Amino acid sequence: MTEGNFVDYVKIHIFSGKGGKGSAHLHREKYITKGGPDGGDGGRGGHVIIRADKNLWTLFHLKFKRHVKAEHGGNGSKSRSSGADGSDEYIDVPLGTVIRDTDTNEIIKEITEHGEEFIIAEGGMGGRGNWHFRSSTNQTPRYSQPGIDGQAIDITLELKVLADVGLVGFPNAGKSTLLSVITAAKPKIADYEFTTLKPNLGIVKYRDHQTFVIADIPGIIEGAAEGKGLGHRFLRHIERNSTLLFLIPADAKDINEQYEVLLDELRRYNPELMDKDRLIAISKSDLLDAELKKELTAELDRKLELPYLFISSVAQTGLTELKDKLWEMLNKEAV
């Protein structure tokens, strides 16, 4: 999936259908000039329904769909014939989509199960025909009900990536390079900050034809929890990952300090993220000679409480151990 096709945020104006009018028809035939009421009911207006589809990975198909309008209900007619219900309009979304009211920013619904359907705007009820208003004192009512108007609402759809492992790190830490090496994903890679502007997903092929999904998420900068840089645009994607892989380059001035900054940003954004499993990968370890690696290992053993691994995406070292460790963490409950 190319970065340009990954759309994780769209705004849509929703209109449900208006209910059809009830009929005020009076029965007439060749020899019946003053028949009673026989007006039918109006049909229901169409609903607008959000539907979950596990085969979708992005909101790209909705990028240019700014308005969604369901069909109006049909009007009632003579012989107590009801109008047809308006056709429902479906909006298919990937799993992990959050629906917000654009005006209030309140979460309306989170979509997490395949096939799940949620009526975001109900169609208006059809009006009742004059058949319903006949009585002993009013045998020929010449009125009926109009249909009820449909609903209009502005919604925002936000996608939280559903992946097993989320890659967390500062810009230019080597996340995209790692993803390109251990999966078939082809993220944009360059030697400057914020090369990755949107999440990239890749499937890691493990042993015995087993797989897991890893997401390269845009790099953190200090203050991301307050919305600086890419801020909340990337942080929401981490909420769905079961395991967090912190990627810190071997040439960082202080690896432990970088980890603490990354962790603090996540904590300030959502304290529940602290409950996720974490692993540190020291990237670009091909820059270290044996002596430097030994010194760094002694320092990390003293400072870090978290398991860590040395890897190099360029030299392709430590990657098998990394996949083994991630697989173990993802499946620890089943072991």
> Is the separation of the CB atoms in 219 and 196 below 8 Å?
yes
Dihedral sign, CA of 295, 298, 302, 306?
positive
Question: What residues form the annotated binding site for Mg(2+)?
Answer: 176, 196
What does the alpha-carbon distance between residue 28 and residue 322 come to, in Å, rounded to a whole number? 83
Q: Of 124, 127, 119, 118, which Cα lies nearest the Cα of 151?
A: 124
The token pair that represents 111 in the structure block: 């979509």
Among 203, 327, 197, 304, which residue's Cα sits nearest to residue 257?
304
Token code pair at residue 82: 């009801």
Torsion angle (degrees, nearest 10) of CA 154, 270, 195, 110:
-40
* Cβ atoms 74, 20 nearer than 8 A: yes
Sign of the C-alpha dihedral, residues 102, 104, 107, 109?
Answer: negative
As a whole number of angstroms, the distance between CA 166 and CA 244 comes to 5
**Binding-site annotation, residues:** 169-176, 194-198, 216-219, 283-286, 312-314
Residues marked as binding for GTP?
A: 169-176, 194-198, 216-219, 283-286, 312-314
CB 58, CB 8: distance < 8 Å: yes
Amino acid symbol at 11: K
How many angstroms separate the CA atoms of 252 and 261, rounded?
Answer: 13
d(CA 20, CA 281) in angstroms, rounded, equals 62
